[in-house]
Structure 1
């Protein structure tokens, strides 16, 4: 799908807060509210807008531990990496999963209530997986910047 300048401007505003009315977005980009809504509908249907979600505060929900896992696999074949990816992405604790280039094969962001829950996650997903050569963990002390709008290149 080709995005024009108006699509890009709408996306830039919309991703910051999806509750902003179409009238307000339209006033900023020079379109009617109906035209903004038609464009948003087209952007959803084409897959440019993947989801519209709420950003929640982990600690207020009792999720006090965020861990960044770097995982090195033994077998890096497509089948083996897909099996690992499918296993960890099925876990609710895994909020993000990235296949990466470099010394490690995967980086996971794991959010759990406490260290006991983190240990249980490691036991279930990493420690006894014959394809996990090693993993390293960083426990997040301060989430200085958790989620930000994407910088949308102007076509």
Structure 2
């Protein structure tokens, strides 16, 4: 259900807060944005119903759960036909190791972020997703040395004052 009205300054302020911590109490959000807790609750529910807030998740430190390898992988398909692309999208979306997947332009087809416990596990993942996949022409792995910044917070600009 697409939202009919654009986000106002209250919605934007609420989004800035819940992106940092979705468990922030609504009364605390209400105080920060100068609304009642009930108004904040209605606005959050409306943004969820409209798909602006897609879901509430916990961001887990991969190292804390023994997933020490993070790889950024460039994947080039054999062609960009709809069937080939759709098959790859479905495969990558279903793979639990794939944390992020982007269908991109610029000479490659996809950029993936993959986490694995170790290099042996990562190699098994690359064999399953790429090496034995006849739709994949090539892939290139970039292994992260350090996680400098992770997360999905989007900067929500303030509305200009009229």
Which TM-score tier does this pair reach, normalised by the shorter chain? over 0.9
Give me the whole-angstrom Cα distance separating, in 1, the residues matched to 2:147 and 2:75: 21
Check if 1:7 corresponds to 2:7.
no
- How far the C-alpha of 1:80 sits from its partner, in A, is 0.7
Q: How many correspondences in the alignment?
A: 155
Check if 1:83 corresponds to 2:53.
no
Partner of 2:47: 43
SS, match of residue 15 in structure 1: helix
- How far the C-alpha of 1:24 sits from its partner, in A, is 1.1
Q: 1:94 pairs with 98, 111, 116, which one? A: 98
Q: 1:55 pairs with 47, 54, 59, which one? A: 59
Scaled by the length of structure 2, the TM-score of the pair is: 0.92
Scaled by the length of structure 1, the TM-score of the pair is: 0.96
Structure 2 gap ranges (5+): none
Deviations 1:124-152 (A, max 9, x none): 11001111111100001100001152111
Check if 1:109 corresponds to 2:110.
no
- How far the C-alpha of 1:153 sits from its partner, in A, is 2.9
SS, match of residue 111 in structure 1: strand
Check if 1:138 corresponds to 2:142.
yes
Deviations 1:59-95 (A, max 9, x none): 1101011111000111111111010111121110001
Check if 1:70 corresponds to 2:67.
no
SS, match of residue 109 in structure 1: strand
Give me the whole-angstrom Cα distance separating, in 2, the residues matched to 1:148 and 1:76: 28
